[in-house]
Amino acid sequence: MTAVSDEQIRKAVDEEMLRRLASPEDKEVEQLDAWWRAGNYLTIGQIYLQGNPLLREPLAPQHIKPRLLGHWGTSPGLSLIYAHVSRLIRHTGQQAIYLAGPGHGGPALVAAGYLEGTYSEIYPHVSQDEAGMLRLFRQFSSPGGIPSHVSVTTPGSIHEGGELGYVLVHAFGAVMDNPDLLAVAVVGDGEAETGPLEGSWKGVSFLNPERDGAVLPILHLNGAKIAGPTVLSRKDPAEVRRLLEGHGYEVLEVEGSDLPGMHHRFAATLAGAWGRIRAIQHLARTGGWDGSRPRWPLIVLRSPKGWTGPEQVDGVRMAGTWRSHQVPLSGVRDNPEHLAILESWLRSYRPEELFDSTGAPTELVRGLAPEGDLRMSASLHANGGLLTRDLVLPDFRDYAVEVPRPARTRAESTRRLGELLRDVYRDNPDSFRLFCPDETNSNRLGAVFEVSDRAFAERVTADDVAISRDGRVMEVLSEHNCHGWLEGYTLTGRHGMFATYEAFAMVSASQTVQHGKWLQEASRLPWRAKVPSLNVLLTSTAWRNDHNGFSHQGPGLIQVVLTQRGDVARVYLPPDANCLLSVADHCLRSRSYINLIVIDKQPQLQWLSIDQAAEHCARGAGVWDWAGTDDGTSDPDIVLACAGDVVTMETVAAAQILKERLPGFKVRVVNVVDLMTLMRPKDHPHGMSGTLFTELFTDTVDVVFAFHGYPGAIHQLVHGRPDADRFRVRGFIEEGTTTTPFDMTVRNRASRYHLVMDAINNAKRLPRGAADLMAWCERKLAEHQAYVVEHLEDMPEVRDWALGE
Amino acid sequence: MTAVSDEQIRKAVDEEMLRRLASPEDKEVEQLDAWWRAGNYLTIGQIYLQGNPLLREPLAPQHIKPRLLGHWGTSPGLSLIYAHVSRLIRHTGQQAIYLAGPGHGGPALVAAGYLEGTYSEIYPHVSQDEAGMLRLFRQFSSPGGIPSHVSVTTPGSIHEGGELGYVLVHAFGAVMDNPDLLAVAVVGDGEAETGPLEGSWKGVSFLNPERDGAVLPILHLNGAKIAGPTVLSRKDPAEVRRLLEGHGYEVLEVEGSDLPGMHHRFAATLAGAWGRIRAIQHLARTGGWDGSRPRWPLIVLRSPKGWTGPEQVDGVRMAGTWRSHQVPLSGVRDNPEHLAILESWLRSYRPEELFDSTGAPTELVRGLAPEGDLRMSASLHANGGLLTRDLVLPDFRDYAVEVPRPARTRAESTRRLGELLRDVYRDNPDSFRLFCPDETNSNRLGAVFEVSDRAFAERVTADDVAISRDGRVMEVLSEHNCHGWLEGYTLTGRHGMFATYEAFAMVSASQTVQHGKWLQEASRLPWRAKVPSLNVLLTSTAWRNDHNGFSHQGPGLIQVVLTQRGDVARVYLPPDANCLLSVADHCLRSRSYINLIVIDKQPQLQWLSIDQAAEHCARGAGVWDWAGTDDGTSDPDIVLACAGDVVTMETVAAAQILKERLPGFKVRVVNVVDLMTLMRPKDHPHGMSGTLFTELFTDTVDVVFAFHGYPGAIHQLVHGRPDADRFRVRGFIEEGTTTTPFDMTVRNRASRYHLVMDAINNAKRLPRGAADLMAWCERKLAEHQAYVVEHLEDMPEVRDWALGE
């Protein structure tokens, strides 16, 4: 699609309304400017003041905070945009949320929420009066207060302003299946240097104007980051334009610092952008769309860093340079000249026009602000739990694998999940999406394509399969996009799952960490309603990356999730298809967790019937009587525990070997699905009681634990349990290569033979025949080793044997 | 800089030579095509054949591997490029390395190394004859063999073809300070969707044509990834061109599948690109450069996926579609029709022309290949250890903080390191670089700017400080670029350090993992010489992100590095400046490790003189006699251990409290700098002996361990040590916010008072006065809590008190 024409805009939007929007009257400019000045004033107050908030008396050193923190440089730009978008909302009734990529401009967004009244509604002690304003100032970047950047505590935000790079992925995720929403996403020119941000412009290549809302990116070029210039700000503007046009946007530009000129030009540009968005949507929603990717508008705003701040300090240029990034005046308490500059700076905004005698914003300031839920700081979309509806979920039992007896059936477990997800798609046509880097089919989840194509807004050809502009399965070869889109989607109240190769989940590990931190923090804010969980399915696991080898063998994300607090962290290792179904059902119903589910996609032995699986998963861990030789009347000789599909198979095999070859030796097999049950109840809400732990693991018998991930994970989980030293863990110890699945277990010393030897070595009672069995195991391993070496050249033949199944 | 002119090219390069390069004679085209056919033949052989490698007999089912693995689709393009770059080298003597972004095209690169003879030199059993060729085929993607993608085992590669997104960062890192090197970096259109790749085009904005070599990106658009189209391949070509021009490149395009036309066009285009590169370098190196950023050339190659492969299989289009991505014919063993297609496909390359009677490549094939080190598979730059020289290092003692007695001096420890790094820069003007996302000054390493600016190829203005085209300090707001550039820099034999905020080290955690895997794998390949270590300095740590709060508080990278094997993983937690200097000196001398160093940048108490520090760090862990009350004659009542700067301070304070308030109670203080000493020697080469462990920690006395990171890390490290259950670990438990440093220790229950209470609770012997001291500690904490609550509004004042120092 070429850019929309004026004619198309006129058909979509009331012409007179758009004209008024584009050309604010003098009164409106005055209101815009007042709002903007108020935002800037409150921003500076948060950075500097601990007294005299309304400047009712001359500014004195004791009014200044002892330690000056915060970021001024980006804030005036953020406030200007906020003011203008608010006016747009007021004129048009557009539902909008605001995402501040330069989130360190936190005081600007906090100021906006305060001016809109939302802040006081949520935090009544920060009232719209002089005392409240002082609290607003003092809490900022102070102990017990709020951080210096946009955070979970900021009303209207779904985007933490700490780790940079995700403003566009969050915005695109928010508008998917959200046709009436406009996400205004401000991209800072520092953030624009990050890989995740650069990789996220292409969100438009996956957006459907008929069914999805719109993202309006505003690239805010103010020239510098902490200590130097940014790449985009120093490139030829024509080059920047080409870059953004290359990403598929129609680029609208506003530049300058003149007033009121900038108000007029930004209003006109914003109106132009909005008109284009509405025209694109109108075409798509009234049958006038040719199906090609729309050329969505994007605004480049060039304004000085620290705009309206001091031009010079101590003879050095300040506004417009990197020196404005944080605190432009550093010596205010001790340097009378700096104090005077600060006072005249603050007074330049004429606070007496902005706040009335009580300290509340005046009518002039509030004149253009929207009301109720239309205020961006009060948008329900930014507190998505309020909009969350339960998914319509089929009965997971309907997708069960028939398992009359353990270890008789083989199945690709994730394929069953795919069938369940297909029906979740079908029954929730606007509130569920699967996000996956190009691997939906590879991960055996392809059944979803029976009811939904992949989403793709670029050209589709006859050779393509299951891909169209109307698709809702999200495939992009970028874990960052997948993860971030899902975050935006769930934070605005919808449900989803991110499925990816286990090893490459580390690509977006920092997003998992930061989203977990968001959920942890949100759980302590009563006004933040719970949102759908972030469900992460890891498949194509370490143990079954036979031909890909070492670089694809890494179960590291488990360690990462384990570091998070118990109120959000959940890790599940279903051993088979029916357990996976039960776990997935639970996760899709849950709220505000990070649910990590790990299971491989290859055909694997099935252990439990669906009813057994449901019961087993509800408990999270349990004894598999049928696998062991423990009669339950007394402590066994050894406990063989396992968590994870491949190691469960090895454990059951080891128990079988012991059963056959060491009669009288009592083996108990424990399978753990919910890893967090191993923790103490005081450390995690899923932690099993001491009594139950003892029932499973005894207090004194040694436990040989075969674990899917790095062994250290289990050591840290069982710490504090009775005699934790007795847990001998086998797991992935970074011994990987291109080899057979069975050889993987041998290399990592987690094979059935290793487990048998561990059992014998650690049993308190050494039964007759133990030494023979040890020797047998060593022989089996030596044979395996010899076979591997000898048959290096005939490797394909070794596979079946080495599978050892 | 605008694109270079023909005139400028003529001045830089011999005109006749360039003409010949651009216009291959018929004989050369024949040679090029023969090389290419041989590469394709060997690629297909690797995927399909386990017998009859030279097709000396009709193809039969038993010649076909039982399991078909590998990626055909991208391989012909990779081989074509390889052939043409080889010819370029032969004509020009250009030193070049080849980085395959679509690294799953592994068989193509393996084939290239085999055709060049390098493969047989390194792996003699894979000889250049029929038997060797059969081994080449059988080892591919087979157990005990090589993975299906480009990997550490592939000669000539510094780039693993597993996790996508880093081909350009590796290429740019490789050419920094490497003026004679050309890095040919093939970017796949799947990889081009990843964030890290999209964020890495801007490498040219940091490249200096005078001092650095050149990167020639070749964007290989063949239309599809695993199961569907890619964004770039389906955009309007004009839009792709705009995008790449927007990044700053001059775009040269080649498209088609006609032969020999494609050979002629690609040769001409490659010659054009090379001429431009040489012209840019010539200008810069002979004083003709205006200093602006050059417009470096880039090639877009559009060729069909699976080019030269079967056009149709089972009535479905194959070549040119996503169906060619992996194995185009799946049923070869059982389906005679497929077998026939495969045979005619293989024979279409006329193997009898390509390999002689012994199976060695014919003269026709080898005619254009370069020789010796100029072969890309044998480039010394791609086995950088061979080129590595030791750094010229100053005596780290020269930067010491004067510490006459412990805990009397405060210093910003990283500032001393900055001074050392300054002199490393000075003394190693072409083999050391610091990489940091915009935080060199913030991290107190700014002394480096006394001898080197930041590197920046875009426009610089009068307000900029310490930034120029000649700078060699690498600042870009992208952890991915910083990390990846350093990887490329060290893999080609030079030294460096990546310094970043602790929390945001998780952004590039997957790179740390993958580079660690590279080093682990390389350590088992004798032909790979050791390279400089990847030194990662984490500062601005969790405990001192006072105003940034929770999103900036995350010591997670320690957990990640701990999962790697002992042959590469190193984690250091120097408690003060002098220890930091000693650790840094050690790391800068080391080879092929991941060295993680964690220390905060804020002013902190200093404990050890430089000599004490050197001795302490050499041991890795030791008793701090002066801090405790342990006389060494018998076991103490408690061991207080610590690792990390802030928690060391709390531990020393706790010991002091116990000393003063509980006379007779014997406390031993142990500080750990080298975290790996805690492991058993069998688990890590730094692991201390059982005897030493007992000397420090006893066998039975409880240990209260205050740790910088997540407590679980210590639990997993001490597993297997005598009675590991007795280790009670305090650390970061995800309790963070905007608060004072002391309050951070309180919230995470790691304050001096918590440690004192832990000591009392876990001591075997309860001395008189213990109950009183417990009550005193509880009172102190209650007072702190009351103070925090009461003074919420006056937070700035709480700071000094709450610091508790």
Query: How far is A468 from A476, CA to CA, in rounded Å?
Result: 14
Q: How many residues does chain B have?
A: 805
Q: Can you give the pLDDT at residue A548?
A: 85
Q: Are B739 and A144 spatial neighbours (Cβ–Cβ below 8 Å)?
A: yes
**Neighbouring residues of A112: CB distance < 8 A, sequence distance ≥ 6:** A39, A79, A82, A98, A156, A376, A377
pLDDT in tens, B366-408: 999 999 999 999 999 999 999 999 999 999 999 999 999 999 9
Of all residues in chain B, the one with the smallest CA distance to A163 is: B504
Q: Are A37 and A350 spatial neighbours (Cβ–Cβ below 8 Å)?
A: yes
At residue A60, does pLDDT exceed 70? Answer: yes
**Cβ atoms within 10 Å, residue B803:** 11
Distance from CA of A796 to the nearest CA of B (A): 6
Q: Dig out the tokens for A366 from the structure.
A: 């509030």
pLDDT band of A795, cuts 50, 70, 90: very low
At residue B228, does pLDDT exceed 90? Answer: no
Which residues 620-659 of A are in CB contact (within 8 Å) with B? none
Which residues 248-287 of A are in CB contact (within 8 Å) with B? 248
**Chain B contacts of A796, Cβ < 8 Å?**
50, 65-67, 138, 142
pLDDT band of A325, cuts 50, 70, 90: confident
Q: Can you give the pLDDT at residue A798?
A: 39
pLDDT (average), residues A561-582: 97
Report CB contact under 8 Å: B465, A719: no
Which residues 29-58 of B are in CB contact (within 8 Å) with A? 50
Q: Can you give the pLDDT at residue B795?
A: 38
Q: CB contact, 8 Å: A700 with chain B?
A: no
φ and ψ at residue A174, rounded to 5 degrees:
-65, -35
Q: CB contact, 8 Å: A468 with chain B?
A: no
Cite the beta strand spans of A148-258 per DSSP E.
181-188, 214-221, 250-255
One-letter amino acid at B743 equals: D
Query: How far is B724 from B720, CA to CA, in rounded Å?
Result: 7
Burial readout B736-775 (b: 16 or more C-beta within 10 A, e: otherwise): bbbbbbbbbbbbbbbbbbbbbbbbbebbeeeeeebeebee
Tell me which fold the domain A627-803 belongs to: Rossmann fold (3.40.50)
Which site among A468, A478, A742, A784 would you substitute to test the B interface, given the most B Cβ atoms closer than 10 Å to its Cβ? A478
Report CB contact under 8 Å: A715, B719: yes
Locate the domains of chain B by residue range. Answer: 6-369, 396-604, 622-803
Q: Can you give the pLDDT at residue B557?
A: 98
At residue A323, does pLDDT exceed 70? Answer: yes
Query: Dihedral of the CA atoms B794, A307, A345, A33 (nearest 10)?
Result: -100
Give the least confident one: A318-332, B507-521, B689-703: A318-332
Enter the pTM of the model: 0.97
Query: How far is A139 from B759, CA to CA, in rounded Å?
Result: 36
Tell me which fold the domain A6-365 belongs to: Rossmann fold (3.40.50)
Q: CB contact, 8 Å: B410 with chain A?
A: no
Q: Can you give the pLDDT at residue B803?
A: 39
pLDDT (average), residues A354-369: 96
User: How many residue contacts between A and B have a Cβ separation below 8 Å?
Assistant: 435
Nearest to B464 among A229, A438, A481 (CB): A229
Nearest to A712 among B196, B554, B562 (CB): B562
Nearest to A199 among B195, B243, B458 (CB): B195
Burial readout B500-514 (b: 16 or more C-beta within 10 A, e: otherwise): bbbbbbbbbbbbbbb
Q: Can you give the pLDDT at residue A764?
A: 83
**Chain B contacts of A744, Cβ < 8 Å?**
none
Q: Can you give the pLDDT at residue B788?
A: 66
pLDDT in tens, A693-727: 999 999 999 999 999 999 999 999 999 999 999 99
At residue A605, does pLDDT exceed 50? Answer: yes
**Cβ atoms within 10 Å, residue A374:** 18
Q: Long-range contacts: B784-791, Cβ < 8 Å, 24+?
A: B784/B742, B784/B743, B784/B746, B785/B746, B788/A143, B788/A144, B788/B739, B788/B743, B789/A144
Report CB contact under 8 Å: A796, B65: yes
Q: CB contact, 8 Å: A682 with chain B?
A: no
Q: CB contact, 8 Å: B134 with chain A?
A: yes
Q: Can you give the pLDDT at residue A439?
A: 87
Q: Can you give the pLDDT at residue A195?
A: 98
pLDDT band of A796, cuts 50, 70, 90: very low
The per-residue pLDDT of chain A, averaged, comes to 94
pLDDT band of A192, cuts 50, 70, 90: very high
One-letter amino acid at B771 equals: A
pLDDT band of A767, cuts 50, 70, 90: confident
pLDDT band of A792, cuts 50, 70, 90: very low
Q: Are A118 and A378 spatial neighbours (Cβ–Cβ below 8 Å)?
A: yes
Q: Can you give the pLDDT at residue A797?
A: 39
Q: Can you give the pLDDT at residue A83?
A: 98
Tell whether ipTM is more than 0.95: yes
Which residues partner with B467 through β-bridges? B454
Does domain B6-369 bear CATH number 3.40.50.970?
Answer: yes
pLDDT in tens, A6-36: 999 999 999 999 999 999 999 999 999 999 9
pLDDT in tens, A255-308: 999 999 999 999 999 999 999 999 999 999 999 899 999 999 999 999 999 999
Report CB contact under 8 Å: B795, A144: yes
Which 3 state secondary structure label does DSSP give A704?
strand
Please say whether the dihedral angle defined by the alpha carbons of residues B785, B791, B796 and B798, taken in this order, is positive or negative.
negative
Does domain B622-803 bear CATH number 3.40.640.10?
Answer: no
**Chain B contacts of A563, Cβ < 8 Å?**
554, 556, 559, 710, 712, 734
pLDDT in tens, B469-480: 999 999 999 999
Q: CB contact, 8 Å: B520 with chain A?
A: yes
pLDDT in tens, A72-99: 999 999 999 999 999 999 999 999 999 9
- Between residues B336 and B765, the one the model is more confident about: B336
pLDDT band of B801, cuts 50, 70, 90: very low
The per-residue pLDDT of chain B, averaged, comes to 94
Please check whether the two domains, B6-369 and B622-803, share a CATH topology.
yes
pLDDT band of B799, cuts 50, 70, 90: very low
Of all residues in chain B, the one with the smallest CA distance to A713 is: B716
pLDDT (average), residues B154-164: 95
Q: Dig out the tokens for B691 from the structure.
A: 């005897």
Distance from CA of A660 to the nearest CA of B (A): 30
Q: Can you give the pLDDT at residue A789?
A: 60
Q: Can you give the pLDDT at residue B786?
A: 76
At residue A226, does pLDDT exceed 90? Answer: no
pLDDT (average), residues A612-636: 93
Report CB contact under 8 Å: A241, B246: yes
- Mention the CATH class of domain B396-604: alpha beta
At residue A661, does pLDDT exceed 90? Answer: yes
Nearest to B521 among A240, A550, A716 (CB): A550
At residue B439, does pLDDT exceed 90? Answer: no
CA A60 to chain centre: 45
User: Percentage of chain B surpassing pLDDT 90?
Assistant: 87
Which site among A141, A149, A170, A477 would you substitute to test the B interface, given the most B Cβ atoms closer than 10 Å to its Cβ? A477
Report CB contact under 8 Å: A560, B565: no
Q: Dig out the tokens for A410 from the structure.
A: 């083989």
Distance from CA of A758 to the nearest CA of B (A): 14
Query: How far is B350 from B155, CA to CA, in rounded Å?
Result: 27
